[in-house]
């Protein structure tokens, strides 16, 4: 499992993140405060606090995670 932080300030960023997450077969979770939501669920992502950074838990290979981070571009703010 790999972890990194993202920032999803706009609704378009949430939609883009969800679309990219759905292109991967492995499990991807987003943790915001005490809540954990499925990164492939647009409704779940809309329920998190977008004013604060969120932590992504990527349950796949390191190579898959590196590809996902590259696709996300500027949405990634730090690695953990």
Average pLDDT of the chain to the nearest whole number: 94
Report how far apart the first and last C-alpha atoms of the chain are (Å, whole number).
11
Burial of 52 (0-12, 13-18, 19+ CB in 10 A): exposed
Number of Cβ within a 10 Å radius of residue 57: 16
At 78 the pLDDT is 77
Domains of the chain: 2-79 (3.30.1340.10)
Decide: pTM greater than 0.95.
Answer: no
For range 58-80, the mean pLDDT = 91
Number of Cβ within a 10 Å radius of residue 19: 12
Residue 55: closest CA among 71, 29, 79, 31: 31
At 80 the pLDDT is 59
């Amino acid at each position: 499992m790999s972890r990194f932080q993202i920032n999803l300030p706009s609704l378009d960023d949430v939609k883009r993140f969800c679309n990219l997450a759905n292109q991967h077969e492995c499990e991807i979770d987003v943790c915001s405060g005490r809540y954990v939501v499925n990164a492939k669920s647009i409704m779940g992502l809309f329920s998190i606090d977008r004013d604060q950074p969120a932590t992504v838990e990527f349950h796949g290979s390191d190579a898959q995670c590196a590809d996902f981070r590259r696709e996300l571009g500027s949405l990634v703010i730090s690695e953990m």
